[in-house]
Amino acid sequence: MSQKSDQGPGAQTVGAVKPQGPRLRVEASPAGSGNERLGSSDLMEQACERQNLRAALKRVRQNAGSPGIDGMTVEELPDHLRGHWPRLREELLAGRYQPQPVRRVTIPKPGGGERELGIPTVLDRLIQQALLQVLQPLFDPTFSDASYGFRPGRSAHDAVRRAQAYVQEGRSFVVDIDLEKFFDRVNHDILMGRLAERIADRRVLRLIRRYLNAGVLANGVVIEREEGTPQGVLLDEVDKELERRGHAFVRYADDLNVYVRTQRSGERVMASLRKLFGKLKLRVNETKSKVTRATASKFLGFSFWIATGRTIRRRVAPQAIRRMKERVRELTRRSAGRSLAQMCKPLGTYLSGWKAYFRLADTPRAFADIDGWVRHRLRAVQLKHWKRGEVIYRELLARGMPPEAARRVAANSRRWWHNSAMAPNMALPNDLFKRLGVPKLAS
């Protein structure tokens, strides 16, 4: 429930801290929506029940993740709870529990620059997860049917399929909205006002407010925050208004696409959304938001193309392929004396996850091309690892390559990428990479 999907010392607000805790998606409906307050005044007791805590602990351990500012690991959390849970439970039930600041780290962004992540302590991740499990069943039924992010029984794939159906219906233009640093711009007072309309247990409200206000530890100094949100979204109000107007739209967290039939309709929708977001004190990123052809846009890593018979098909967006190749290059850089087998282990884990997500794409040939590129890359890395011509010749020969072919490769020992296409597949066959755990993406 700490601060989220972009990127200071002093008494100013730290922007762009992406949270690494459970995704507590606390979307509140607008005032006057007719929704009564959710749950009773004993939500905190429900959150602290043994069965709920066991489920929360299991989830936190499955998610793993780095330690927060106290250095405690996920593996150390059960022992800590055995010794301290009675006191922690008393603090939670009395409304006195104080979350610790999140630890700030930076990671490279795919397009350059850095993104800041805010990592809560594992104890705070447990408490957030316990609250999520109590609140989500109460809030979720009230959310829009067009909202898919972080909801039980719904996935990014479901959102992509719905978007595809809209395009297939003839809604060939899309209003693609990008909110400027959304998860750092949400006004706490607006969010808490919406939640207070729905949650009866004041202790839960106070704890959510404390998580929102939890500082960021930077260079040993805790910097206070005045904006930023949990990994949840305050966009249900936007959903309800889009539904009232009869728009065809899909939203996954802060990724919002509205599908229309003409460019002119799209421009009108864009203008109305700017006003609606302004009421929530959110800003549309004008450089990234646009009205464009649906086949020229991307959504959750996918884009659409028109196949035979005007059928709309799914494919991996070019930007997603570029990011994947950047990541493969990072994982296969020859450093620290790593062997091919050592490189292939994390590479296999990454590609397996990538394959599982993008299996929805209808482009088997593109996957086959990526398979070829990955194997080409691995062969080039292995040749570069051997370095000298005589070593390359000896290693290729030992792996069954004919002497003349091995000699040709060794003679161009510094041209790694070129050499990797000169029949080293005889010595470094596809089966080798399969045995080392690198999955084949194409079916």
User: Lowest-confidence range among 239-248, 412-421, 426-435?
Assistant: 412-421
Where does residue 224 rank: exposed (0-12), middle (13-18), buried (19+ CB within 10 A)?
middle
**The two structure tokens encoding residue 335:** 């450093």
* Residue 68, CA distances (Å) to 80, 101, 117, 127 in order: 14, 8, 11, 14
Contact predicate 198/35, CB 8 Å:
yes
Rounded to whole angstroms, the Cα distance separating 264 from 106 reads 41
User: 181 pairs with which residues across the strands?
Assistant: none
Residue 210 has pLDDT above 70, yes or no: yes
Instruction: In whole angstroms, give the CA distance from residue 294 to residue 160.
Output: 12
Is residue 235's pLDDT more than 50?
yes
What pLDDT band is residue 84 in, cutting at 50, 70 and 90? very high
Residue 213: CB atoms within 10 A of its CB come to 15
Q: How many CB atoms lie within 10 A of CB 327?
A: 15
pLDDT at 225 over 70: no
- Mean pLDDT of all residues belonging to the chain: 82
The rounded distance, in Å, linking the Cα atoms of 423 and 401 is 8
d(C-alpha 2, C-alpha 19), whole Å: 5
Say which residue, 311 or 194, is predicted with more confidence: 311
What pLDDT score was predicted for residue 320? Answer: 94
CA separation for the pair 340, 355 (Å, rounded): 21
Query: What confidence score (pLDDT) does residue 382 get?
Result: 85
pLDDT band at 360; cut points 50, 70, 90: very high
Q: Is the pLDDT of residue 216 over 60?
A: no
Choose among 176, 172, 178: nearest CA to 293.
Answer: 172
Query: In this predicted structure, what is the pLDDT of residue 280?
Result: 78
Q: What pLDDT does residue 28 have? A: 40
Stronger pLDDT, 105 or 231, i.e. the higher one: 105
In tens, the pLDDT along 17-63 reads 344 445 444 444 433 344 445 556 899 999 999 999 999 999 999 98
**What b/e sequence results for 60-70 when a residue is b if at least 16 CB atoms lie within 10 Å of its CB, and e otherwise?**
beeeeeebbbe
Percent of residues in the chain assigned helix, strand, coil, to nearest 5: 50, 15, 40
CA dihedral 155, 160, 164, 165 (to 10 degrees): 20
Which domains occur in the chain, in start order? 37-142+200-220 (no CATH), 144-187+227-315 (3.30.70), 317-436 (no CATH)
pLDDT, residue 229, reads 45
253 pLDDT more than 90: no
**Model-level pTM?**
0.78
Higher pLDDT, 231 or 292: 292
Confidence of residue 352 (pLDDT cuts 50, 70, 90): very high
Tell me the residue type at 180.
E
- Select the more confidently predicted residue: 94 or 65: 94
Taking residues 404-423, report their average pLDDT: 69
Mean pLDDT of 254-264: 94
Helix axis angle, 364-386 to 389-398, nearest 10° = 120
Burial of 124 (0-12, 13-18, 19+ CB in 10 A): buried
pLDDT (0 to 100) of residue 298: 94
Task: Give the per-residue pLDDT at 362.
Answer: 93
Q: Provide the sign of the torsion angle of the four alpha carbons 31, 32, 33, 34, taken in this order.
A: positive
Give 11's pLDDT tier (boundaries 50, 70, 90). very low
Instruction: Render 396-423 in DSSP notation, one character per residue.
Output: HHHTT--HHHHHHHHHTTT-HHHHTTSS
Higher pLDDT, 6 or 49: 49
Is 185 or 166 the better-scoring residue by pLDDT?
Answer: 166
Most confident listed range (98-102, 167-171, 206-210, 236-240): 167-171
The Cβ of residue 292 has, within 10 Å, a number of other Cβ atoms equal to: 13
pLDDT for 69 beyond 50: yes
Q: Does residue 364 have a pLDDT over 80?
A: yes
- In this prediction, residues 163-171 reach a mean pLDDT of 97
Which range of 88-92, 216-220, 336-340, 411-415 scores highest in mean pLDDT? It is 88-92
pLDDT given for residue 113 in this prediction: 59
φ, ψ of residue 218 in degrees (nearest 5): -130, 120
